[in-house]
Structure 1
Amino acid sequence: MARDIVIWPNKVLSTPTKPVTDFGENLTKLLEEMFDAMKEAEGIGIAANQVGVPLRCSWVGREDGTFFEIINPQILEKSGPVTLEEGCLSVPEQYERTPRFHKVKVKYQDRAGEWHELEVEGRLAHVLQHEIDHLDGHVFVDHLSNLKRSLILEKMKKLQKAMKRHKDKDKE
């Protein structure tokens, strides 16, 4: 069952996540719920804090349409500054050019706790940086100018109010 996606500026999105230490059934269940939420929202990645869980795990989409999970990731190297258009499931329908790096080397664990290293470039590097940013307590709008960020903030506050009204109406 998919979990609800948290909308920025919810505090869970600006708080660094805690390392995963339990690689058991709870992690597997969380990863499945995150995957369902991501697919339902037609995303190409999702971090645990985007569904309200402050753990250091995420799904990342490859260009071929497949996905893999990263747990306790660390960026080891980055090179080739680049600016690309970016959006986010927690900042729906907002897209802005965001500074990232063309190439990254990342170390992470899988759901069994095994360590892997991955060196990638292009779109996959972009998605990895975006998701690891989430786990570090940052949303892509943190990379934007104060003006752009404040305009998006107003839109997200209106969306949060509308979503709350909709949920309250459903309870009646």
Structure 2
Amino acid sequence: MARDIVIWPNKVLNTPTKPVTDFGEHLTKLLDEMYASMKEAEGIGIAANQIGVSQRCSWVGREDGTFFEIINPQILEKSGPVTLEEGCLSVPDQYEKTPRFHKVKVKYQDRAGEWHELEAEGRLAHVLQHEIDHLDGHVFVEHLSNLKRSLILEKMKKLQKALSRRKDEKKE
């Protein structure tokens, strides 16, 4: 079942997530909820803290439209600075050029706890960096100028108020 996406600025998005240590049913349920939330929002990746859960796991979209989960990921290497257009499910309808790296090497676990290493470049490297940033407690807007960040912050605060009002109206 899909869960609501947390909108920035929210404390859970700016707090590093906790490592996954239980690779059982709880993790499977969390990954299923994350996947449903990502698909409903038409995203190409999602981190657990984007649905309010402080666990170090994420879904990452490949260029062919398939997805895979990364658990307890670490970036081992990065090279080739590049600036790419970026957006985020937690910062809806906001897209800005963001500094990243063209190539990354990542170590991560799968849902069974097995370790893997992956070398990626281009869009996949971009999505991996974005999702791992989330797990480290960072949102892409932190890579932007103070002016751009403050303009986006005002829009997100207005969106949060509007969403809160809608929830209150549904309760009545």
Query: TM-score by structure 2 length?
Result: 1.00
* Counterpart residue number, 2:96: 96
Structure 2 unmatched ranges of 5 or more? none
Identity among equivalent positions (%) equals 90
* Counterpart residue number, 1:22: 22
* Counterpart residue number, 1:63: 63
Secondary structure at the aligned position of 1:104 is classed as: strand
1:121-132 to 2 correspondence within 5 Å? Answer: 121-132=121-132
How far off is 1:57 after superposition? 0.1
| Residues 1:42 and 2:42 are matched in the alignment | yes
| Residues 1:12 and 2:12 are matched in the alignment | yes
Secondary structure at the aligned position of 1:137 is classed as: coil
Secondary structure at the aligned position of 2:64 is classed as: coil
* Counterpart residue number, 1:2: 2
Secondary structure at the aligned position of 1:58 is classed as: strand
C-alpha RMSD of matched pairs (Å) = 0.2
Residue 48 of structure 1 aligns with an amino acid whose one-letter code is: A
* Counterpart residue number, 2:133: 133
Query: TM-score by structure 1 length?
Result: 1.00
Please give the alpha-carbon distance, in whole angstroms, between the structure 1 residues aligned to 2:59 and 2:35.
7
**May I ask how many residue pairs the two structures share in their alignment?**
172
How far off is 1:25 after superposition? 0.2
* Counterpart residue number, 2:154: 154
Please give the alpha-carbon distance, in whole angstroms, between the structure 1 residues aligned to 2:147 and 2:42.
28
How far off is 1:129 after superposition? 0.1
Please give the alpha-carbon distance, in whole angstroms, between the structure 2 residues aligned to 1:121 and 1:10.
30
Please give the alpha-carbon distance, in whole angstroms, between the structure 1 residues aligned to 2:40 and 2:2.
8
| Residues 1:77 and 2:77 are matched in the alignment | yes
Structure 1 unmatched ranges of 5 or more? none
Residue 100 of structure 1 aligns with an amino acid whose one-letter code is: R
Secondary structure at the aligned position of 1:19 is classed as: coil
Secondary structure at the aligned position of 2:142 is classed as: helix
How far off is 1:128 after superposition? 0.1
Please give the alpha-carbon distance, in whole angstroms, between the structure 2 residues aligned to 1:2 and 1:26.
15
Please give the alpha-carbon distance, in whole angstroms, between the structure 2 residues aligned to 1:126 and 1:49.
19
Please give the alpha-carbon distance, in whole angstroms, between the structure 1 residues aligned to 2:135 and 2:32.
18
Secondary structure at the aligned position of 2:103 is classed as: strand
How far off is 1:48 after superposition? 0.2
Residue 85 of structure 2 aligns with an amino acid whose one-letter code is: E
